[in-house]
């Protein structure tokens, strides 16, 4: 088995550094390790983005994932944002498809596991480590070198080709304010 496509997203919106936008648990309690209200909205919108009820994807480069990876809570991060961004999708397509085997910093173990899945894999990860995922798949230092810390609205798509992987950026365009342009 080998993956035909790997799609990578950043977790949905998080509390701001100024302390004016708060994370909230699914029960509505303030929690700095959680998504913001907008983040929960994005997590819900990602369900039909990645699993449209009529089977017609808004962008032909997106496909339904057979396996979803999200970084687990670890000693260096108690954040639930990566998991909670994709949990609504996993609840729809099958909770057993959500894998929490790896934490941030274990990208070298994550990529072989993602490449080994049958079909399509989706990865929900921390923005600072996503370029490392790109480099592990592409084997180079191509642009973009960083994931813009203000962007929660993109999918990095890696499609298997005869010679390796093709890289594309797909704007989600799910919520007001989402940008149509890729990261440079």
How far is the C-alpha of 173 from the C-alpha of 49, rounded, in Å? 10
Q: What is the pLDDT of residue 79?
A: 84
Give the residues of the chain that fall short of pLDDT 70. 1, 75-76, 141
Q: Would you kindly state where each structural domain of the chain is located, as residue ranges?
A: 3-159
User: Rg of the chain's alpha carbons, rounded to an integer?
Assistant: 15
How far is the C-alpha of 128 from the C-alpha of 1, rounded, in Å? 29
Q: The whole model's pTM is what?
A: 0.96
Q: What is the pLDDT of residue 141?
A: 67
Please count the other Cβ atoms lying within 10 Å of the Cβ belonging to residue 163.
6
Q: What is the pLDDT of residue 74?
A: 74
Q: What is the pLDDT of residue 111?
A: 97
> 22-57 burial by CB neighbour count: b if 16+ within 10 A, else e?
ebbeeeeeebeebbbebbbbbbebbbbbbbeeeeeb
The topology under which CATH files domain 3-159 is Rossmann fold (3.40.50)
Q: What is the pLDDT of residue 75?
A: 66
């Amino acid at each position: 088995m080998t993956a035909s496509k790997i799609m990578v997203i950043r977790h949905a919106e998080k509390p701001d550094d100024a302390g004016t936008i708060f994370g909230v648990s699914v029960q509505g309690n303030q929690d700095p390790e959680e998504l913001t209200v907008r983040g929960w909205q994005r997590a819900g919108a990602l369900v039909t983005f990645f699993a449209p009820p009529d089977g017609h994807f808004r962008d032909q480069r997106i496909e339904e994932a057979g396996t979803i990876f999200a970084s687990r809570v670890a000693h260096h991060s108690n954040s639930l944002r990566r998991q909670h961004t994709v949990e609504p999708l996993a609840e729809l397509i099958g909770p057993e498809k959500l894998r929490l085997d790896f934490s941030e910093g274990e990208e070298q173990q994550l990529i072989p596991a993602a490449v080994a899945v049958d079909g399509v894999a989706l990865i929900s990860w921390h923005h600072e480590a996503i370029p490392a995922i790109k480099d592990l798949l592409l084997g180079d230092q191509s642009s973009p070198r960083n994931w813009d810390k203000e962007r929660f609205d993109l999918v990095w798509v890696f499609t298997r080709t005869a010679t390796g992987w093709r890289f594309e950026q797909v704007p989600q365009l799910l919520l007001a304010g989402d940008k149509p342009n890729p990261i440079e």
